[in-house]
Structure 1
Amino acid sequence: MKGIEMLTCPYRTLMRYKRWSTDGLNAVLADTMDRFDEPHQILILRVLDHIQTVDEIFSHNLEARGHAYAVPRSAVLPSFETLVDKSRSIGAWYVDYTDRLTPDMVDEAIDFSFSNGAPARMTRGEMILHVASHGAGHRGNIGALLQMNGIQPNPDRITDFLEAERA
């Protein structure tokens, strides 16, 4: 990769990493969800739903279009299967979006409103960084819960992703 493409490469890498690590977490959860008691299952679903909702909100923000979210979660908690399907879809959207991202778009500031109605302004690059770090933090929350229940979390380090991509 040369020249101008290098300016958008980190964003493309982050979204590919996010998709990979989310898919890995969902695979571990699909195999182990029945090992959690109901309160922990609900907690996992709530965290996954929150990640998904924030991803959807910021996809709207990146396209400079409004969203209907008043809070960063669904009104009705979706099933695990629904959340997995939605995470695959939004993961593909972000990879496609960052593939089309040009250097002049990265620093373009966009006005939008947070889900609580507060006005905000961020660049496209800042929004992508937010989506990546937000998801990583909450995947870590679920990873800790997995470990507390004797379950090995999926590899979730960007170095693991890069190694897998280069293999």
Structure 2
Amino acid sequence: MSTAPPSPIHTRTASAADTLKMLVRYKAWANGLTFGSMMALPEGEALRQRPTRFGNMVHTLNHVYVVDDIFRHHLQGKKHSYTARNTDLSPAIGDLWEAVQEMDRWYSDLVDTWSDEDLAKAVHFEFVGGGEGVMTREQIVLHVVNHGTYHRGFVGDLMYQVPFTPPSNDLPVFIRDHYCNAR
């Protein structure tokens, strides 16, 4: 897998494929910051039950992983075995981090093979909760990136409750650090 980002976007207009390549790398980078922060918390804080939809930080990020995996299956044209958008139990944080890194590599490797024309291919699937769905490849990748960002925000809020200040993992910071300084 190439870890070099596509050409810096500040020097030319990026194609849609270039933008998706940048976004999946952003997602991997932000996941690294989030997991690094979560693993640096005092013992038990990442699994401490809190008043949030998924109960704790690890289970929240497990939900992101499950949704990423569901859409990986859709992109592969394969059936998945999920009956819900999360598992019943939270995995060990180290195991989840390894699985997330593999997932991030898979998305980066896949998107690296796509041209702008490939992005428009329709993917038909069935939603976990029932019902037929159809999205383009581009829409699926935009969804997994956006979905991860949304839930990392929840985890950041939970970290402030520890209290712990997580590092900024916003897209402009990624662009600044990975593109603008590449001149």
Q: TM-score, normalised by structure 1?
A: 0.91
**Mapped partners of 1:128, 1:161: distance in 2:** 18
- Aligned residue type for 1:43: N
Question: Is 2:159 the partner of 1:156?
Answer: no
Root-mean-square deviation over aligned CA pairs: 2.2
Matching residue of 1:165 = 178
Deviations 1:3-38 (A, max 9, x none): 9x7230111111000000001100001110526273
**Percent of aligned pairs sharing the same letter:** 24
- With over 3 angstroms needed to count, the CA separation of the structure-2 counterparts of 1:150 and 1:77, relative to structure 1, is closer
**Mapped partners of 1:52, 1:77: distance in 2:** 11
Among residues 5, 10, 16, which one is paired with 2:25 in the alignment? 16
Contact 1:70 1:117 (C-alpha < 8 Å) held by counterparts: no
Question: Is 2:134 the partner of 1:121?
Answer: yes
C-alpha deviation, 1:66, in angstroms: 1.5
Contact 2:64 2:151 (C-alpha < 8 Å) held by counterparts: yes
Structure 1, unmatched stretches of 5+, are none
- Aligned residue type for 1:8: A
**Mapped partners of 1:81, 1:89: distance in 2:** 13
Deviates most, 69-78 or 151-160? 69-78
Contact 1:54 1:131 (C-alpha < 8 Å) held by counterparts: yes
Contact 2:59 2:89 (C-alpha < 8 Å) held by counterparts: no
Matching residue of 1:108 = 121
Q: Which has a greater percent of helix? A: 1
C-alpha deviation, 1:62, in angstroms: 1.3
Structure 2, unmatched stretches of 5+, are 1-6
- With over 3 angstroms needed to count, the CA separation of the structure-2 counterparts of 1:157 and 1:27, relative to structure 1, is same
Matching residue of 1:54 = 67
C-alpha deviation, 1:82, in angstroms: 0.9
Matching residue of 1:70 = 83
Question: Is 2:109 the partner of 1:96?
Answer: yes
Contact 1:44 1:142 (C-alpha < 8 Å) held by counterparts: yes
- Aligned residue type for 1:21: A
What is the number of equivalent residue pairs in this alignment? 167
- Aligned residue type for 1:6: S
Matching residue of 1:28 = 37
